Structure 1
Amino acid sequence: MHIPGPDPRPDGGAGAVAAAGGLHQYQLSLHAEYGPVVRFQLPGAETAVSVADPELLEATAHLDERPQKLFEFLSPLCEAGNLQVLPADEHAPWRRLLLSVLAGRPSHERHFAEFAALTQELADRWAERGCQEPVALQKDLTALSLRMICAYALGGAAPEPDAVVAAFEEILTAYLGRLYEVPPPDPGEEPPERAQEALRFLRATVDDVIAAHRSDGRTDRSDLIGALVEAGESPARIRDTVMVTLLAAHHTTGVAVSWTLHLLGRHPEAAERVAAELDDVLGDRAAPDFADLRRLPYLDMVLKESLRLYPPGPYGARETTEAMKLGDYEIPAGATVFYPFWAVHLNPAYWPDPERFDPERFTPEATAERPRLAHIPYGIGPRSCEGAALATVEAQLVLAVLLKRFRFRPVPGHEVRPIERFVLWAEDDIRMTPLLRPLS
């Protein structure tokens, strides 16, 4: 069967993506017009197919190659080969190594108290301001996430967290923006000097982190650098891995928590229910223990609904190595298959009134009625996010600490508009006022 989609354009589709404000917005409009499977143009992809039906996605879950062109904007962060597009045979052992550090529940529990202390430091800083002025949630929470990943996976403190976050944003703005320029930039054209300077700063920062780690004399697998050293990875691959880990980890948790607080600010009845659950489980304690997370089901439902409405990564992509069937459609070899997380999460066939915030969608009974891949904030298959389990623990903890202590009120007149970066960002941050809750 012919896959529906827009007519070809002479610019290869770049203009349509740019006009929509980014690829994730473009995919939303395509699926609204053409249905759950859409063929469209994209620079560098001879055949691009976006799939927003979770049952059809099951047929693609085994795919283990990423399209080179689409992830080219991350190449400047890597010197030993873009880690996002490593061939499957090279990617699999690298992924296993990352999972050995990032996915283990014992290690999450071991670092939990440190995570709680870092979160309480941020809450203290907000409280010291007297709750009289708004805070920039994404700025402060991505810096907190960066401190967490450095403490957890890299064996040390985060050097200049705000500067590191700002440098990543400078690089992503420059390189991601070049991906859909019309006309495309000359391959030999240098990016803006500010982006080059940001990249030099990040590389020097990561070198300092690695050097400080080595000065401790540790070469065990207790953290990511130790695991990479023990595995015999080259210095360049170690630096690349640290760089990409910093990028992915600080965005994921900080952005997810920011959007969750934004939604709770707009739905105070849900915020009050979370607060009541926290008071019931924690009593007069300021932070949960690791075991308490399992006793906070409504908080977990709120987080999942936030990740549905504002998935940190708005899309994933794979490349077919051979022709395949996708329902009634034939997908040729060499095609780029998109996982448009936002469109999947807003598919009305599985999410009635999809733009409405409703944590009750994630009761065990409601979840059991939906296909497995209806909710995919961290991707699917062998290229899904290695840090998903860690990000979930961090987000639940940060939300518990902050919502036990504060009510968050939107700033009047401040527009929160999602835009495409490496993640689903807010154009002018998410500004809210934290108000101290009365002691329980």
Structure 2
Amino acid sequence: MRIPGPEPEDDDGPRAIAAAGGLHRYQLYLHERYGPVVRFRLPGADTAVSVADPVLLEATAYLDKRPEELFAFLDPLCEAGNLQVLPAAEHTPWRRLMLSVFAGRPAHERHFARFTEQARELADRWARQPEGEAVELQQELTTLSLRMIDGFALGTGDRAAEGAEKGDGTEKEEGGEEGEGRVIEAFEEVLTEHLGRLYQVPRADPRSAERAEEALAYLRGRVDRAVAAHHADGRTGRSDLIGALVEAGEGPARIRDTVMVTLLAAHHTTGVAVSWTLHLLGLHPGAADRVAGELDRVLGDRAAPDYADLRRLTYLDRVLKESMRLFPPGPYGAREATEDLRVGPYRIPAGTTVFYPFWALHMNPAYWPDPERFDPERFTPEEIAGRPRLAYVPFGIGPRGCEGAALATVEAQLVLAVLLKRLRFQPVPGHEVTPVERFVLWARDGIRMTVRPRSRNA
């Protein structure tokens, strides 16, 4: 049976995607019009097959190959081979190593106090905001996320603190907000340039390519300094990412590549997820009240949770999950069929790009009634048990799913708990929040909210 989709003259790839408002919205349109399995033209892959039904998606969940051209925009970040498209034989041990660093409870607990202090510093600063003055959540929370992953992966948080005590300026380069802000800007410059090439976007600035090269050189230099400082400290073992990579015998280029990709993925994911969650709570004050009540019951007079408390914040967890359903940080993924596949009544030939439209999956009304409605009760144990396992996939699926999912969840829960125990967030009247694709699902003009301290019984 022929896979449905737009005719070639109605689907010219980049222009059709741009007209829809981005690939994330184009996917919603395609599946609403043509059904759960759709054929379409995808820049970097020519023809792709998109699957937005979680039951049908099971037939593809084992795939362990990413289409190289589609992920080529990340090539500049890697020198020893693009980590997103490593062959399975090379990717599997690398993934196992990454999970050993990022997925374990001991590692989370070891860094939890530092994470808490960083979140409390932000809450303190926001609590001092002049009344009525707005904060831009995405930029602030992305910076916080970068500080967290810096310390977790590289140990730069500890070195920055030491530099501050010595007065040698180390904190500005490695862990201070000035350095982190420049890192975020540099990643944006590199990604904007190379994603623009993928989607054939005309350059608005003739110096964009040159600036992207300068930004890439800055990022590589920063990582090199972190690696050199790690070696100078004489640390070994698997206590952080660099130590684990050194112990595994990885070469300098692969170590640098891994650090670069980790910093990119981790600071986007957590900061964006927390931003969208606060945005939704601002729009739904009843849910915000319920979160605050749960925090007061579980924490009492404490300003922040312990690691063990996170398991008791069940409603907060549902709110975060519902937020990532409505606004998944990564709105889609892709694999390459290495053999002919049967997906429902359709045959997908070997070599075809299989597209995973996570946002469209999360908006599938067959599994999410009234899908645009914010409803954390969708994530009670009973509701979860009644859905296919791939109906909710904010961190991807299969052997190429996000290695940092467990860490990102802990960070997001902690930051939300600290902020919402202390503060109340309200939307800025008249400010429109529009999701756009920018490597992650970002708000085009930011997420601006006013912040005020909350009283215990407010």
| Distance in structure 1 (CA, Å) of the matches to 2:215 and 2:127 | 32
Corresponding residue of 1:135: 135
| Distance in structure 1 (CA, Å) of the matches to 2:378 and 2:133 | 34
Deviations 1:335-379 (A, max 9, x none): 000110000000000000000000010011111100000000000
The reply on whether 1:200 has 2:213 as its aligned counterpart is no
Post-superposition shift, 1:128? 2.4
Corresponding residue of 1:34: 34
Corresponding residue of 2:95: 95
Residue from 152, 175, 178 that aligns with 2:194: 175
Post-superposition shift, 1:106? 1.5
Corresponding residue of 1:23: 23
Residue from 161, 165, 176 that aligns with 2:184: 165
The reply on whether 1:147 has 2:147 as its aligned counterpart is yes
| Distance in structure 1 (CA, Å) of the matches to 2:207 and 2:334 | 27
Q: Which runs of 5+ in 1 are unaligned?
A: none
Task: Give TM-score, length-normalised by structure 1.
Answer: 0.96
Post-superposition shift, 1:80? 1.0
| Distance in structure 2 (CA, Å) of the matches to 1:431 and 1:168 | 22
SS of 1:347's partner is coil
Q: 1:256-271 maps to which residues of 2 (within 5 A)?
A: 256-271=273-288
Task: Give TM-score, length-normalised by structure 2.
Answer: 0.93
Corresponding residue of 2:171: none
Deviations 1:66-109 (A, max 9, x none): 00111111111111111111111111111011001000011112
How many residues are paired up?
Answer: 436
Q: Which amino acid aligns with 1:417?
A: T
| Distance in structure 2 (CA, Å) of the matches to 1:246 and 1:183 | 28
| Distance in structure 2 (CA, Å) of the matches to 1:319 and 1:362 | 31
| Distance in structure 2 (CA, Å) of the matches to 1:192 and 1:392 | 35
Q: Which amino acid aligns with 1:167?
A: A
Deviations 1:223-282 (A, max 9, x none): 000011111111111111000000000000000000000000000000000000000100
Contact 2:296 2:456 in 1 (8 A): no
| Distance in structure 2 (CA, Å) of the matches to 1:89 and 1:400 | 40
Post-superposition shift, 1:132? 3.8
Corresponding residue of 1:120: 120
| Distance in structure 1 (CA, Å) of the matches to 2:8 and 2:44 | 14
The reply on whether 1:376 has 2:393 as its aligned counterpart is yes
SS of 1:149's partner is helix
Give me the identity figure in percent: 74
| Distance in structure 2 (CA, Å) of the matches to 1:296 and 1:137 | 23
Deviations 1:8-48 (A, max 9, x none): 14985222122222211111110011011000112332430
Residue from 333, 336, 342 that aligns with 2:353: 336
Post-superposition shift, 1:121? 0.7
Corresponding residue of 2:304: 287
Q: Which runs of 5+ in 2 are unaligned?
A: 158-173
Post-superposition shift, 1:288? 0.3
Post-superposition shift, 1:191? 5.5
Residue from 421, 426, 435 that aligns with 2:443: 426
Corresponding residue of 2:64: 64
Deviations 1:301-323 (A, max 9, x none): 00000000000000010000110
Residue from 358, 362, 369 that aligns with 2:379: 362
The reply on whether 1:248 has 2:286 as its aligned counterpart is no
| Distance in structure 1 (CA, Å) of the matches to 2:25 and 2:197 | 17
Deviations 1:149-185 (A, max 9, x none): 111121122541111111111211111122111699x
Contact 1:167 1:201 in 2 (8 A): yes
| Distance in structure 1 (CA, Å) of the matches to 2:359 and 2:111 | 32
Q: Which is worse superposed, 157-166 or 246-255?
A: 157-166
Deviations 1:365-403 (A, max 9, x none): 111100000000000000000000000011000000000
| Distance in structure 2 (CA, Å) of the matches to 1:11 and 1:263 | 34
Corresponding residue of 2:343: 326
Q: Which amino acid aligns with 2:50?
A: S
| Distance in structure 2 (CA, Å) of the matches to 1:317 and 1:162 | 30
| Distance in structure 2 (CA, Å) of the matches to 1:233 and 1:259 | 37
SS of 1:379's partner is coil
Contact 1:116 1:397 in 2 (8 A): yes
Contact 1:14 1:180 in 2 (8 A): yes
Q: 1:302-313 maps to which residues of 2 (within 5 A)?
A: 302-313=319-330
Corresponding residue of 1:392: 409
Contact 1:31 1:343 in 2 (8 A): yes
Q: Which amino acid aligns with 2:77?
A: L
**Misfit runs of 4+, over 3 Å:** 9-12
Measured at CA, do residues 330 and 166 of structure 1 come closer, stay the same or move farther in structure 2, by a change above 3 Å? same
SS of 2:335's partner is strand
